[in-house]
Amino acid sequence: MSNPYALPPLAALDTATLAWRRDDTEQEAPHSTVFDDVYFSRHDGRAEAEHVFLHGNDLPQRFAAWTRSRPFTIAETGFGTGLNMLCAWTCFERHAPARARLHLVSTERYPLRREDLARALTAWPDIAAKAKRLTDQWPDPVAGVHRLWLDDRVILDLHFGDSVTRLAQLDGRADAWFLDGFAPARNPDMWQAPLFELMARKSRAGATFATFTCAGVVKRGLKAAGFDWHKRVGYGRKREMLAGVIDAPRDDTTRDATPWYRPPQAKPPHHVVVIGAGLAGTTVSHALARRGIEVTLLDRHAPGAGASGNRQGALYIKLAADTNLQSHIYLAGLIYSQRWLAELDPDRTLWQDCGVLQLATSDRERRRQQRFLANHPLPAEIVRPVDASTASELAGTPLTHGGLDYPQAGWVRPDALCHHLAAMPGVTWRQGDVDDLVRTHEGWRVSLTDGAALSAEHVIVATAWQANTFRDLSWLPCQPIRGQISSLPLPSGMTELRRVVCAGGYVPPAFDGRLTFGATFTPNDADARPRPADHEANLTELERTLPAYVAELHGAGALLSPDRLTARCAIRAASPDKSPYAGPVPEADTWRQAYATLAKDATRVPPVSGRYHEGLWVTAAHGSRGLASAPLCAEVIASRLCDEPMPLESSLNDHLNPGRRLIRDIIRGHD
């Protein structure tokens, strides 16, 4: 087996190839042609799932008794049609107390195509509404973690890829396991020792498992990994099945080589203060409020007053030609934002998924895009190459260059989105200028310049380039980047752009009769006053990106001169490596001492866990890609804070950890 801790590539997965066979009751059921095995029997698949997996894990009783503030977590190998998980959700609804939450994690190496999934689940009309929630949000077949909110109490994380590879990267632990995945004789590659080992490492104490098979390899593997098992009566014609428990799970060794990233102990709080009401702050407020946590959201101005306050922003990403952690995060972020926005605003009043074209306006960019495509075989629904003529057709205006097309990306109204999120149930918006943050016995005291003070168990700093003005974050590098956008009223009769067109900047379709374009990008400049020179730069870029459109604008009488344009200028924040920060705040001085030996030899890792300021978090440095990164980073923080499985692979969560900058500086000998 290759190194299971290596991150799998950013790539499309093969979908399941099915034959629809009729069983002995003449009912149609999906059959895998790869494994030559059935997903379930249409006749009694539901009853079998309930017998084996639900009762095998004693779920009705355990759900009824679940009073913890963290969610009950079930992990599964082989999601297939999702029948097991939909049954678990149904059982949870029936038995669990009203405030309980459920978290489902499932791996799948050959995801069904959406239409096959819908067809398979028509077999069970009484769970049709649940099946629709699943199929409506069903991800494209891309390796990685896909988070779906099934309802306000139930999250499903689909880990697309091979079970062993995915579980190695699972950042979370299960209370119960559904050990599924076709019969061991038909799928011997999966039922191997590494799988059982990983289950033991990703289990909570007392975690249970259930499986339909009693194969020797399974019994031996589970025993060797530390699970006790016993046989139970199987379902229908199967005489026996296995169920069991692990009282002493194995240590999760994922972070042995990077102990500074071991997460702090978590317990879901009652009240959190979020400082900063831009995209980072409002999305994290929403993520926490959805989990039943009371949120006070503070900003010295209004929601979306800073860099998140533009009328229109592009929901797009730029992925590196060679895969790196940042590209993994941004692709996952883009996919999550699309799903999250579709849920939040199905009527598309806050956003439009019209697609984004990323033009290759130079040879260098063309070569870069070609390399990117060669290295990342992603589904065409996510990103595909287009020539100038297809690009022109898609954009609705003649273009001189082709490029990359992201058909599901688009544009968002960031200002309206921030206001919308700040007004969601569970979020209390309050104007306030924070001048100090002090740790107390109970949590944090947040002092405002008007003399008021708030207390909270946790504080999340989401103040972009000003995040490091707080004492405990003073070490965090945040670079200000000035950005100005320009806009003008669109003359009547003008062609409507049909896609967001990007090259050096971005141009979304006109909104409310105005055409917006930009933005400039001036690092280390925190002056937010509009400048005519920036209008000039935006006009030059507009001409370079959309020459025919600009000619049409001139013909329609538009006045394309700096003194006739409207400006909005704001300061964005970036980290030195251009990845966002999302996670707990390290105690910088303690880290510098604890890990000082890394300066001499970066391979001599002290076996000391990283210490964090208890209850202090940061989400910042989203640069100009916050629409793609902030919603997922909000889930990263909310999941960690609530002690639930993470929405990203361990290595990606670690990359988002602000402490990466401390470690890098220690290794390089900087203070």
Using CB under 6 A, list all residues that contact ligand SAM.
16, 39-40, 78-84, 107-110, 162-163, 180-182, 187, 190
CB of 40 to ligand SAM, least distance (A): 6
For ligand SAM, the closer of residues 13 and 280 by Cβ is: 13
Q: In Å, what is the CA distance from 69 to each residue of 153, 291, 301, 382?
A: 12, 10, 33, 36
d(CA 341, CA 526): 30
Give every strand in the sheet of 18-22, ordered side by side: 18-22, 28-32, 37-38
CB of 512 to ligand SAM, least distance (A): 46
Is 375 exposed, middle or buried (CB count within 10 Å of its CB: 0-12, 13-18, 19+)?
A: middle
For ligand SAM, the closer of residues 162 and 415 by Cβ is: 162
For ligand SAM, the closer of residues 182 and 411 by Cβ is: 182
Rg (alpha carbons) of the chain, rounded to whole number: 26
CB of 377 to ligand SAM, least distance (A): 19
Sort strands 37-38 and 28-32 into parallel, antiparallel or unpaired.
antiparallel
Is 193 exposed, middle or buried (CB count within 10 Å of its CB: 0-12, 13-18, 19+)?
A: middle
For ligand SAM, the closer of residues 102 and 485 by Cβ is: 102
Whether the CA torsion 497, 499, 501, 507 is positive or negative: it is positive
Tell the residue number behind the tokens 């979306």, with chain if given.
304
Q: In Å, what is the CA distance from 250 to each residue of 85, 205, 207, 452, 664?
A: 26, 9, 12, 48, 30
For residue 621, give the nearest of 665, 569, 651, 656 by alpha carbon.
Answer: 656
CB of 134 to ligand SAM, least distance (A): 11
Tell the residue number behind the tokens 């062609």, with chain if given.
495
CB of 225 to ligand SAM, least distance (A): 17
> Which residue's C-beta sits nearest to ligand SAM?
78
**CB–CB of 507/500 below 8 Å?**
yes
CB of 117 to ligand SAM, least distance (A): 9
For ligand SAM, the closer of residues 40 and 411 by Cβ is: 40
Tell the residue number behind the tokens 């203060």, with chain if given.
273
**Secondary element (H or E) of residue 195:** helix 193-201
For ligand SAM, the closer of residues 80 and 144 by Cβ is: 80
CB of 32 to ligand SAM, least distance (A): 6
**CB–CB of 571/526 below 8 Å?**
yes
For ligand SAM, the closer of residues 79 and 372 by Cβ is: 79
**CB–CB of 648/575 below 8 Å?**
no
CB of 235 to ligand SAM, least distance (A): 14
Query: Which residues, 6+ apart, have CB-to-CB distance to 317 below 8 Å?
Result: 330, 331, 333, 334, 406, 409, 625, 628
Both structure tokens of 393: 């057709």
Helix, strand, or coil (residue 287): helix
CB of 131 to ligand SAM, least distance (A): 11
For ligand SAM, the closer of residues 33 and 389 by Cβ is: 33
CB of 410 to ligand SAM, least distance (A): 31
For ligand SAM, the closer of residues 34 and 302 by Cβ is: 34
CB of 296 to ligand SAM, least distance (A): 41
For ligand SAM, the closer of residues 50 and 654 by Cβ is: 50
For ligand SAM, the closer of residues 79 and 196 by Cβ is: 79
Both structure tokens of 52: 């084996």
**CB–CB of 443/458 below 8 Å?**
yes
